[in-house]
Amino acid sequence: MSESPGPGPADVAARWIGVRRHQVVLAVLGVAGVGDGLLRSRSLGEVVLAAALAAGALPIGTETLGGAVGTAVAFGLRRRWTRLTVARVADRVVVEGRATLGLNAYVLAHRGRLDLNGQDHRVAAQLAAFVEAAASADRRDTSLSVHVCRTGARATTVLVTPAGAGAPPGWDRDDDALYAVASARRPTSWWLERWWYVRSDDEVACVLRVGDLRGSSRDALLGGLQGLGEDVTLSIQATAVGGSERARRVAERAVHRQRSDHATSAAAGFRSTARTQLVEARAQRREAEVAAGRALLRLRVYVTLRASSCTALRDARETALRRARDAGIRLERGGGRQGPWLADQVAGTRVREATHWITSADLDSLRVPSHDAGSGLEGRALGVVAGGAAFALDPFDLYRTGLVSNPNVIVAGAIGVGKSTVVKMMVDRALARGRRAVVIDPKGEYGALAARYGSRSVALGRDGWCDPFLEAADASALARAMIASAQGQPLSDEQHFAFDEAWASLGPRRPARVLRALAERLRGALDDAASPARSLALTLRRFVEGDLAGLFDGDGDPVTLDGDLVVLDLSAQWAGDAMAVAALSAVAAAQRVAAGAGAGYVVLDEAWALLADPHALAWLRGSWKLARSRGVSHVLVLHRWGDVGSVGDEGSAQRERARGLLRECETAWLMRQPPDEANDVAAALALSAGERRVLSELGRGEALVRFGAHRSVVRVTPDDADRRIIDTDVAMRA
């Protein structure tokens, strides 16, 4: 048998020889009555009545003809109006429907998608422990329910327990959530019951019941119900059998009944079917788990669809039935039982309506669909998560709320998947909130964004030179990193000595042109071939008179980097030998500018230029750790993950430093990668199996967003204002 012995088809109803008990009774009585009417009494009325009894055993869909007749009779005799009252009394909420119960509601506090980092398993384990403690503490049956209430783009997970029962960790008390669970917009709601739906003065609703929980053992069996609609409530009702001894006897009787049924079937000449064996295996597994201390539960699962009209409700129902069928889940339509099912979701006490026996161990495979709760942050949205909820994200807000320990961000993805769109939208929203941003632009793509804020791109070497040492606390370390990067190797001991002496001679008040001053102090070494400082002097000369002249030294004053947005255009140095040095100095200058407003962004496009340079990387790692104190969020944009994989040799310290730097970015926008690089991304950032699967399925404009311990799958949705600054395909359409 390939099917897992976990929850599957409905197994609460007792069976004889593999058939439901009432079917056997009806068939036996019917056959006996027909025989008696034909052979003994010769009564046509008795034959007709007996034939009707036998016909009642015929299966019709998920039930029998007799059951359908009984449902129709009950529907005809039942009151058409159902009253549902939700009222707050002291420290509890009293719900009155088909029964009166005192309840408390708790909302699951979570962000992102729980299934991408294994948090859904943790929630299920905590809920299982809670149920086991409640079942063992009292010999009475204990009922609780979990509801996923989706209204439009918003979804909430609610736990409803008896008053005073408490809740597991991670659930916040919110009794007002019971109104959403009960589909009640006022304290007392009246519902008019029809055959396949119920109606209030505000809306119509249809209640479906899950009758078959077959599904993959690797994923949540109810996960397929996440996308059933925009106005739907999934309710999981569980009633724990009170007392460990009583639960053990119930589980043992189930195994005994299955074995007796198997023996009777064999004696009657029926062979054992795969389904019969699976049902017996499930019963045996439950018996073993209950003996080990697990709680025994009776389960029923409802799906409530709501709409403004019957036509819309009918369309929603057919869509839900189709999607559930595709997910391997059978939904029962519930014709003639809409009123009782609606009331039983909240105040239901009819245990005989249960469809499954499970144990608390099954709560993991039946864990509630982990809808994407997004970041939970306010602000102008960058996109939407699955289900349509808006997704806003700001690294400083994440840090302030304790979701991350540093504000640094990485944006990675193949060419043309939307990385620049995300970055420009992120910067635009930050500027609108009064923050500053400096963009190191090696390809000249941020001109439109600069123009929106009355700024312009500054090209180093063309529009002036940059002084990265101005007010820099780590100016000495920065100068060493720039020299080492320019000469392509670390400073030797002799160079270190010569540099330290020259730097000390500058005094506490450094001159405006630091590199020129250092070059002047070491100029005498240029004519002395034996001087250990000659190589250092030659490198410094490149910054003043050589190929790097005009970038960090020149005539007049350095360029003024002011304004809320500064774009440093490095397109002239892109892919050249000076790229790493120019980017390094630009980042140093940008940090000072961005931090001037208390919180600012430093965006480094084509970040591989710094990661591939070991000297720039070493300086950047030191600066990285000061991001919080400086109030700077570094945003690294990577276009090809292979550039990171080519940093240093395999297993080298440089490659590990580069990967470590990226792992320290607690906020990451991971977009679609080429197949040959997706595995490198997963390995470098230690992605879980769920994250790897999602990353491989992303489309253009979609991103797997990691913020601290949370994960979301976001579809970037620029508005009209965004489109005017994000278009990077103008040249392709010219």
Which residues make Cβ contacts (< 8 Å) with residue 461, sequence separation at least 6?
Answer: 550, 551, 572, 573
Q: Examine the domain organization and report whether 135 and 150 are in the same domain.
A: yes
The single-letter DSSP state of residue 222 is: T
Pairwise CA distance, residues 157 & 150, whole Å? 9
Q: What is the pLDDT of residue 581?
A: 80
Pairwise CA distance, residues 43 & 34, whole Å? 9
Q: Which of 46-50, 599-603, 605-609 has the lowest mean pLDDT?
A: 605-609
**CATH number of the domain encompassing residue 432:** 3.40.50.300
Pairwise CA distance, residues 372 & 375, whole Å? 9
Q: What is the pLDDT of residue 219?
A: 60
Is 515 or 611 the better-scoring residue by pLDDT? 515
pLDDT at 134 over 60: yes
Q: What is the mean pLDDT of residues 576-583?
A: 72
Q: How far is C-alpha 681 from the chain's CA centre?
A: 19
Percent of residues, the chain, with pLDDT higher than 70 = 88
pLDDT at 122 over 60: yes
In-domain check, residue 251? no
Q: Which of 531, 558, 585 is the last residue of a domain?
A: 558
Please tell me the total count of domains within the chain. 4
Q: What is the mean pLDDT of residues 531-554?
A: 83
Which of 249, 251, 367, 234 shows the shortest CA–CA distance to 298?
251
Read off the pLDDT of residues 683-707 as tens digits, 9 standing for 90 and up. 778 888 888 888 888 888 999 999 9
Q: Which of 9-23, 446-460, 546-560 has the lowest mean pLDDT?
A: 9-23
Q: Examine the domain organization and report whether 183 and 114 are in the same domain.
A: yes
Pairwise CA distance, residues 478 & 616, whole Å? 9
Amino acid of residue 570: L
Read off the pLDDT of residues 709-718 as tens digits, 9 standing for 90 and up. 899 999 999 9
Rounded to 5 degrees, φ, ψ at 686 are: 55, 55
Q: What is the pLDDT of residue 406?
A: 86
Residue-number span of the structural domain to which 412 is assigned: 383-464+560-665+716-726
Tell me if 632 sits within 8 A of 382, measured CB to CB.
Answer: no
Q: Which of 33-47, 140-154, 289-303, 589-603 has the highest mean pLDDT?
A: 289-303
Q: What is the mean pLDDT of residues 258-262?
A: 80
Q: What is the pLDDT of residue 5?
A: 61
Q: What is the pLDDT of residue 347?
A: 57
Q: What is the pLDDT of residue 730?
A: 43
pTM: 0.81
Q: What is the mean pLDDT of residues 360-385?
A: 86
In-domain check, residue 685? no
Beta bridge mates, 64: 59
Q: What is the mean pLDDT of residues 73-89?
A: 87
Is 274 or 149 the better-scoring residue by pLDDT? 149
In-domain check, residue 273? no
Percent of residues, the chain, with pLDDT higher than 90 = 14
Burial class of 717 by CB neighbour count within 10 A (0 to 12, 13 to 18, 19+): middle
Q: Examine the domain organization and report whether 512 and 654 are in the same domain.
A: no
Q: What is the mean pLDDT of residues 380-401?
A: 89
Q: What is the pLDDT of residue 645?
A: 55
Q: What is the pLDDT of residue 702?
A: 93
In-domain check, residue 689? no
Q: What is the mean pLDDT of residues 255-272?
A: 79
Q: What is the mean pLDDT of residues 77-82?
A: 87
Q: Examine the domain organization and report whether 530 and 608 are in the same domain.
A: no
Tell me if 635 sits within 8 A of 409, measured CB to CB.
Answer: yes
Q: Examine the domain organization and report whether 613 and 572 are in the same domain.
A: yes
Q: Examine the domain organization and report whether 41 and 178 are in the same domain.
A: no
Provide the pLDDT confidence category of residue 575 given band limits of 50, 70 and 90: low
Q: Which of 77, 97, 119 is the last residue of a domain?
A: 77
Q: Examine the domain organization and report whether 86 and 173 are in the same domain.
A: yes
Read off the pLDDT of residues 402-461 as tens digits, 9 standing for 90 and up. 999 888 899 988 888 888 899 999 999 998 888 888 888 887 788 888 888 888 788 877
pLDDT at 61 over 90: no
Pairwise CA distance, residues 315 & 639, whole Å? 43
pLDDT at 350 over 60: no
| Averaged confidence pLDDT in the chain | 81
A 10 A CB-CB count for 169 gives 10
DSSP for 624-689, written as a single string? HTTHHHHTEEEEEEES-HHHHHTSSSTT-HHHHHHHHHHHT-SEEEEE---HHHHHHHHHHTT--H
Q: What is the pLDDT of residue 162?
A: 87
Is 299 or 620 the better-scoring residue by pLDDT? 299
The single-letter DSSP state of residue 525 is: G
C-alpha distances (whole Å) from 502 to each of 262, 505, 519, 532 are 94, 5, 9, 13
Q: Examine the domain organization and report whether 408 and 432 are in the same domain.
A: yes
Is 34 or 424 the better-scoring residue by pLDDT? 424
Q: What is the pLDDT of residue 159?
A: 92
Q: Examine the domain organization and report whether 303 and 417 are in the same domain.
A: no
In-domain check, residue 215? yes
Pairwise CA distance, residues 259 & 266, whole Å? 11
Q: Which of 295-299, 472-476, 550-554 has the lowest mean pLDDT?
A: 472-476
In-domain check, residue 248? no
Q: Examine the domain organization and report whether 473 and 395 are in the same domain.
A: no
Q: What is the mean pLDDT of residues 53-72?
A: 81
Q: Examine the domain organization and report whether 302 and 186 are in the same domain.
A: yes
In-domain check, residue 512? yes
pLDDT at 373 over 90: no
Q: What is the mean pLDDT of residues 305-314?
A: 92
In-domain check, residue 155? yes
pLDDT at 481 over 80: yes
Q: Examine the domain organization and report whether 163 and 227 are in the same domain.
A: yes
